[in-house]
A = this chain, B = another copy of it.
Amino acid sequence: MTKAPLQIIPIGGLGEVGKNMMALQYGNDVIIIDAGIMFPENDMLGIDYIIPDFRHLSQQTNLTFHAIIVTHGHEDHTGAIAHVAGAFRAPIYATPLTRGLLEVKLKQARLLEHIDMFTFKAGDTLKFGPFSVETFHVCHSIPDGVGLGVDTPVGMVVHSGDFKFDHTPVDRWPPDFAKLASFSSRGVLALMSDSTNADRAGWTPSESVIDAAFDRVFRRAQGRIIVSTFASLISRIQQVAAAAVRYNRKMAVAGTTMMENIRMAINLGYLELPNDLIITLDDAAKRNPREVVIMATGTQGEPSAVLGRLAAGRHDKLSIQPNDTVIMSAHPIPGNEEMVHRIINRLIQRGAQVIYDPVEQVHVSGHASQEEQKLLINLVRPKYFIPIHGELRHLKAHAQMAEQLGIPRENIAVVENGTMITFQPNGDMEVGERIPGGYVFVDGSGVGDIGPSVMRDRETLARDGVVIVNAVMDRKSHALLADPEIISRGFVFLRDADDLMQSAKLTIKRVLEQNQNANGNKFELVQDALGRLFYNETKRRPMIFAFVNEV
């Protein structure tokens, strides 16, 4: 049998390479790794989230999609599962905790009964046509994450997943160094490795440093403690529980998703809490504040999450009290800094003591820093290196690191999403052209219907607002039948803009009078004249729509 080339396809669209979705193709056989969403940037107005643009792949009817393997339970790897599973109709493979989190999403999308799901344990080997996938445990800021060693007819490709080398993780389950070393002894064609922290020197601190920080904060706290973290950060909940037990506090949970995740994690054995630890919010309200710790979501400054509502004084059961201590046990995702700092300032305004990194080390990154990234490269000793999971600047830094470790520059591929990497049967690497694909914005129930032109209109509307004119005139006499109506929104404060609106009315009348015989394009003449007037008077350029009804 002639061997086929092996193709690595980081799915097209915005964002960090291969973070949200990736495919490996050998002949007509394909496996998919991860199915996540991207969060919109600040200038993507009105967009809820972004999914990978997988249409180029899903439209190829000759391909067999064997599996969707999800490496861990974070949104940027799971959030698009309903879209991806719906389009590819392939079975999903995940570790127990990741599967639990995926099931919630598929249930919401009413897809759970239509999609096959299979559980594997880190260390299991999965066989899909020509692919043999050897899973291995990695540490990250969620338990039960894996990386993948994918054996193919062309060679072995190792995918790190999101990882850090934590020797003292909360669940006492360190990364599977033995498996990584065994890969290298068998020979690794290519390593794809998490680049998130490639510009960070040293070694990411272990999650265990957080215990010491929690201890200091719990010891000093004079009233309630409110700990905010990600709803999926099971290990952090375990750490808070341990501190609560040490300092004789009971734990209440605000936020249904977090409560559901806690129940699931307990059931699956990923979280061990004393039986009497959890109390209700109502119960917490009745107790001495020094006996209570409350878990809450909202570390990214989301106004509708628990912490956002507390900061705004809009939570129905809770309000910030002067002796409260709020721990922000998370870092802002890039782009969210402003919102997060605003929430912190508002909590302080309401009298809370707010503890966040760098005030205390109450959160650590879940991603490997430079020394860990180097260790992975040297453990695996791949022939080719492909930095993934990072912005271009991170990939580039990671690539330079690999070069310093002796991987030849021509054996390193820094690519963007949508660029296919091909390994020929003889093992040679080729970087292809970019395949079609762009952003797929999800806004309300619309998937992919919003493109650049709609976004540009939203930008214009956001910058200077809108002005709308309605005029009715007699077709024969060319006389206005009433004063033209002018409505504006987001342009000027109307109560202070009487003069401007009077000038606008005069302008409309003048234009209509001077252009009585302009057929059909009177509305354009009005729009142009008003545009000039408004720019001269305000230096703003609102969108202007004029109706000139001739009856």
Which residues of A (486-532) have their CB < 8 Å from a CB of B? Answer: 487, 489-493, 496-497
Known contacts A457-B465, A540-B446; A391 and B549 CB within 8 A of each other: no
The answer to whether A397 touches B359, judged by C-beta atoms less than 8 angstroms apart, is: yes
- The chain B residue with its CB closest to the CB of A487 is B545
Residues from chain B with a CB closer than 8 A to the CB of A549 are 470, 472, 549, 551
Nearest 9 pairs of A and B residues by beta carbon: A444-B539, A462-B462, A461-B461, A457-B490, A458-B490, A46-B463, A345-B392, A45-B462, A457-B489
Give the distance in Å from the alpha carbon of A292 to the alpha carbon of B540 in the complex: 40
User: Is A450 part of the contact surface with B, judged by Cβ < 8 Å?
Assistant: yes
The answer to the question of A313 belonging to the interface, with a C-beta cut-off of 8 Å to chain B, is no
Contact between B449 and A493 (Cβ–Cβ < 8 Å)? yes
Query: Quick one: which of A360-391 are within 8 Å of B by CB?
Result: 391
Interface string of A416-447 (1 = CB under 8 A from B): 10000000000000000000000000011110
Q: Which residue of B lies closest to A349 (CB)?
A: B392
- Complex Cα–Cα for A463 and B457 (A): 11
Q: Give the residues in chain B near A335, CB-CB below 8 Å.
A: 337-338
With A and B bound together, what is the CA distance between A342 and B468 in angstroms?
A: 36
User: A344 within 8 Å of B by Cβ?
Assistant: yes
- Contact status A445-B539, CB under 8 Å: yes
Given contacts A348-B392, A354-B393, A444-B538, 9 further A-B contacts (CB under 8 A): A46-B462, A46-B464, A349-B416, A458-B465, A461-B462, A462-B462, A470-B547, A549-B549, A549-B551
Bound-complex Cα distance A187 to B215 (A): 41
A416 to chain B, nearest CB (A): 8
**A256: shortest Cβ distance to chain B, in Å?**
21
- A195–B407 alpha-carbon span in the complex (Å): 46
In the bound assembly, the distance between CA atoms of A125 and B101 in angstroms comes to 67
Q: Which residues of A contact B (CB under 8 A)?
A: 41-42, 45-46, 199-201, 334-335, 337-338, 341-342, 344-345, 348-349, 354, 356, 358-359, 391-393, 396-397, 416, 443-446, 449-451, 453-455, 457-466, 468, 470, 472, 481, 485, 487, 489-493, 496-497, 537-540, 543, 545, 547, 549, 551
- How many angstroms from the CA of A392 to the CA of B343 in the assembled complex? 11
Q: Which residue of B lies closest to A538 (CB)?
A: B444
Structural contact, A453 and B493, CB atoms closer than 8 A: yes
A-B contacts, 6 listed (Cβ < 8 Å):
A46-B490, A334-B337, A345-B393, A349-B416, A449-B496, A451-B493
CA distance A462 to B464 in the complex (A): 10
Most B-side CB within 10 Å, residue of A348, A462, A470: A462
B42 touches A338 (CB 8 A): yes
Q: Which residues of B contact A443 (CB under 8 A)?
A: 464, 538, 540
In angstroms, how far is the closest chain B Cβ from the Cβ of A304? Answer: 14
Q: Which of B337, B466, B485 contacts A461 (CB 8 A)?
A: B466
Instruction: For A396, list chain B residues within 8 Å (CB).
Output: 348, 354
Q: B457 touching A358 by the CB < 8 A rule?
A: no
Asked whether, in the complex, the Cβ of B538 is within 8 Å of the Cβ of A345, the reply is no
- Which B residues lie within 8 Å of A41 (CB)? 338, 342
For the complex, give the distance between the alpha carbons of A446 and B539 in Å: 8
Do B458 and A391 touch (CB < 8 A)? no
Q: Evaluate contact between A345 and B391: CB separation under 8 angstroms.
A: yes
Give, as a whole number of angstroms, the nearest-CB distance from A55 to chain B.
Answer: 14
Q: Which residues of B contact A359 (CB under 8 A)?
A: 199, 397
Please judge, given known A-B contacts A337-B334, A444-B539, A540-B444, whether A468 and B468 are in contact too, CB under 8 Å. yes
